Amino acid sequence: MFETPFHFSMTQNGSMVQEGDSSLMIYSLPQILESITEYFTLYPGDLIYTGTPAGVGPTSKGDVFEGFFEGKPVFKVHVNS
């Protein structure tokens, strides 16, 4: 599972603000999942937050964020307040 590094990125209002790949993570995904499942049962759709690559910045009402996994869109968030 996840032996090959995977690429992820995020845009803010159409401009790339974050890019990274799993090889830069301090702990591997299998290590993270093993640790979490000692205490919690994971279900389809559960989210695991592991930190963020460089690019974190301010957000404003009306911003649109899009997240990509291996170049494919996986979420789109509109900031409403």
Nearest to 15 by CA among 62, 63, 60: 63
pTM over 0.85: no
| Distances 62 to 12, 17, 18, 45 between C-alpha atoms, Å | 10, 16, 19, 26
Amino acid at 12: Q
Per-residue pLDDT of the chain in tens (81 residues, 90 and over written 9): 566 788 999 999 999 999 988 888 888 888 999 999 999 999 999 988 888 777 778 999 999 999 999 999 999 999 998
